[in-house]
Structures are given as structure tokens and as C-alpha cells.
Amino acid sequence: MEEMLLFGNILHDPKPPRKYRKRLLTLDDLTDKELRARYRFGRNSIIRITDIVRKDIEHPTQRSQSLSAEMQVLVALRFFACGGFLQVVGDTLGIDKSTVSRCVQKVSDALNAKADQFIKWPSVQRKGDIKQGFFDNGGFPGVVGCIDGTHVRISAPSHDEPSFVNRKGYHSINTQAICDHE
């Protein structure tokens, strides 16, 4: 029999039994439309992101009900997409709040470690020119770029049409742009 501790008149079990909740959603459980609504990415993009970070986040064994790399990415993307609380994301996906926190941290760290493969910065000389240009044009010190995003409305494509319907219900391409002072 396991060891019990006595606090006052209350018998206390130092290690309560672990509880495993049924995990609710996987990539295969959702349609492309549902994936975009929940995670802001389509199936192929989620698979690509998972493949990029898999080696950094995958558990070497399935011991203790560990989450797959795919599920960790889904957890992080859900958190990023909805800006929700860890508890709400965990309840939605059937995992504990602390697990959501670890997934978000691991996926963020893995993506950040690979940032140089996807983000290109101007040279030191060009950065200085851009900073000076922003300061001269608007009095903004230390700025090396401005970023914004927009949906560019398009006609409905004949191929993979649902992938181009945005959350507001019209066809578009989500575009993000960064510009310098010019």
C-alpha cells in the first residue's frame, strides 16, 4: 500500500493518481475549412510547420502519454490564432494548462531558432540608411521597417476554392508586407 501522510486529522495521499483526459482533436479529425477557422492555417501548411520543427520538439519515446510533434504544433497554433488563455486552449484540446504552456514555449523556441532560414535582414550599412530615412521622413528613431497585413480580394479560384475563403467569408489572399522608408 502506498505511503499516506497525516496532516491534523486529515489523511493525505502525497501522490494522487495521474488523470489522462481524452484528447479531442487531431489534424485528421478536421476539414480544411475547420483547420483554417481554428488554426489560421490549412492542412498542408500545418504539416510543413510540423516538419520544420519536428526534430526540435518530438519526444524520443511515447512514455507518459507524450504529445506528438503534430499535436504540439496544433496546440501552439491554436494559442497563437485565438490569443486565448492557456486554460481555454487546454480545455478545447483536452490537455492541461501547463502542457499548453510547454507546447507554446517549445514550438516558439523551435521556430525562433530557425528564423534565419526565413527572415532576411538588411546589411548593417542598409539598416543605417533605413534608420536615417525614417528619422528624416517622420522623426522616428531606430526604425528599420514597417509591417502590416491585409486581405487582397480575389475572384474565386477554380482549384481548391475553400482554401481562399477568409474568416469574413470572401475570397482573398492574406498578404503581409514589410517596407522601408522609401
Taking 90 as the threshold, does the pLDDT of residue 12 lie above it? no
According to the model, what pLDDT value does residue 76 have?
A: 94
Q: Please provide the average confidence, as pLDDT, over all residues in the chain.
A: 85
Question: Cα–Cα distances in Å, from 35 out to 41, 135, 149?
Answer: 6, 42, 21
Is residue 78 within 8 A of residue 92, CB to CB? The reply is yes
Q: What is the percentage of the chain residues whose pLDDT exceeds 70?
A: 84
Taking 70 as the threshold, does the pLDDT of residue 173 lie above it? yes
| Whole-angstrom distance, CA of residue 83 vs CA of residue 89 | 9
Place of cell 491534523: 8
Taking 50 as the threshold, does the pLDDT of residue 82 lie above it? yes
Q: What is the percentage of the chain residues whose pLDDT exceeds 90?
A: 46
Is residue 30 within 8 A of residue 24, CB to CB? The reply is no
According to the model, what pLDDT value does residue 48 have?
A: 95
Whether the model clears a pTM of 0.85, i.e. scores above it, the answer is no
User: Which residues lie across from 148 on neighbouring strands?
Assistant: 177
- Domain residues of the chain, as ranges? 27-116, 120-179
Taking 50 as the threshold, does the pLDDT of residue 96 lie above it? yes
According to the model, what pLDDT value does residue 163 have?
A: 83
